[in-house]
Structure 1
């Protein structure tokens, strides 16, 4: 086969064209990858790890320092819940910084309120000679502190966490929302929520634990029983001054066998936190004495009907599923 001059020129033209196209493609790849599109990738990967609850992957991408504290919210359900309420999550166009880094904005809304977080990314070498690899600039993770009255436990983002002596500090990823609450048969605290939008910040949740109606009812039941039993024993023993919060002292001679005590007003139970424990405020009620008596001044025999206010205190002790009430009476 003989190559003519024309054929050679055509082949050379084709080869030159192919080389130009290849060069243009390489230049385009380099420009695009070293620009906004490439800089978004580590941010997208990090946000995806948060959505998946993959704390190990997220930490590897963000390369952050982890503050001291309870790591319960850095992985799994607690992490996944931190971003699941975000809406309109958008990774914006990166902005080049003077030091060669890129600032990547992320916008999102939470219950209609707009929020934003910025991530710094930097070049981390190349792949396949001309692909720029980007990575997040290291920072310190934020923290969420949970304070809960009289409890060593709380719930954050659906995860039960320890709060020794009512206090717990938790390193968390950003951006995210963290909702804390406490609930048990006898005590509960309404949910409180905080949001973190950037690194090296801190938020605090204060949970005001209160006694539940179930606890107040359980204590009231035991208080009622104590008073009823006390009145019944006083009637059985025919005592005007029984070992009870109530008693009668008067200038009359009571007919034996006629004494009858009854509770006409039971105490209202109020339970409050005090000095790291739960206390019942002083209890007050009224007891009625019915009897037959002879007035020592007049000698008149007649009914004795008197209502006596009384007061006393109680202490509470708790097991896992039971409260015990112990009366404290000054005679």
Structure 2
């Protein structure tokens, strides 16, 4: 009898150990399933890829399609710069069922608090226990960039071409995208936009301004043109914006000089306000000559200010401006 009791106790101990082992295994599986294979892990991997500037890893993790737009900002320096001010990332599961999980990422972007939600679904199992999750299929957001008057722009350190002063770019989220531009002819102050929602329309518009070099070239060409006009010994300089109506006789030479040069006002013009042009600008010339009275032959000095309007078209290339006067 005593021996039977010992056997029963041993069997009971073994059964207890088995139950305990099974319970421990179940807990271990649950913990590994949550922290090693859970949907939060996939979201964390996505954020890690963003901050590393690894576009291929980020795209693969997000399970996203690239829209029909330029992909220059999806990898390397532009992507790393987009996530440079992405801090304080906290990831939590909002809801979870057997066939879907909604994961929320709270973070600060450039010091401002934001959040994004991601929907995932079970895609597979490993070792018969661990659930492998995938993001629901989505399409990356599109950012519309415009900079009237320019054929290129710099975004997050990447120089990209524009078509008709605009272009669409595929972008990851969340991220900060900063546009700026500096060229010999055109400059633009930095502008930035935050992308936190895949469905929101995002625009980045830059204000192109004529550079000092562009202003200098236009001013120099305008001055040269008017000075050439002033060199003509005639009351009616050919192909010039000023002349002097006089019905008498002129003795000797006619002398012109420019007393006030027009202000070269460079602006965007055209139907879409995306072409550089020159506004009509007033100026003043001075004419001096000796007139002869046809009745008595007496002479007198003539010296008068002649106002005029300077009109011209402007063509701007990458590093050169061409001013073409209009008459």
TM range (shorter): 0.7 to 0.9
Say if 1:139 and 1:200, in contact at 8 Å, map to a contact too.
Answer: no
What displacement does 1:33 show? 3.6
Q: Equivalent residue for 1:171?
A: 170
Contact residue 33 and residue 132 of structure 1 kept, 8 A = no
Contact persistence 1:262–1:288 (CA under 8 A): yes
Within-5 A mapping of 1:142-181: 142-181=141-180
Contact 1:314/1:326 (8 A) holds in 2 = yes
RMSD between superposed Cα atoms in Å? 2.7
State the shift of 1:208 in Å.
3.0
Contact 1:29–1:131, Cα closer than 8 Å, also in 2: no
In the alignment, what sits opposite 1:96? 95
Distance 2:16 2:98 in 1: 37
SS in 1 for 2:252: coil
Comparing 197-206 with 56-65, greater Cα deviation is found at 197-206
Question: Could you tell me the TM-score, scaled by structure 2's length?
Answer: 0.87
Describe how 1:10-89 pairs up with structure 2 within 5 A.
15-16=14-15, 18-35=17-34, 38-89=38-89
Gaps of 5+ in 1: none
The answer to whether the Cα contact below 8 Å between 1:174 and 1:197 also exists between their aligned partners in 2 is: yes
Give the superposition deviation at 1:21: 4.4
**Taking structure 1 as the reference length, what is the TM-score of the superposition?**
0.86
Aligned residues: 320
Contact 1:41 1:134 in 2 (8 A): no
Secondary structure of 1:164's match?
Answer: coil
Q: 1:11-65 deviations in whole A, cap 9, x for unaligned? A: 7677556534432331112222444772310011111111111111111111123
Query: C-alpha separation between the residues in 1 aligned to 2:94 and 2:102?
Result: 5
Equivalent-residue separation in structure 2 for 1:128 and 1:263 (angstroms): 90
Residue 249 and residue 131 in structure 1: after superposition, are their counterparts in 2 closer, same or farther (change >3 A)? Answer: same
Contact 1:63/1:136 (<8 A) preserved = yes
Separation of aligned partners in 2, 1:223 and 1:256: 29
| Map of 1:312 onto structure 2 | 310
Structure 2: tracts of 5 or more residues without a match: none
Partner of 2:131: 132
TM-superposed deviation, 1:180: 2.4
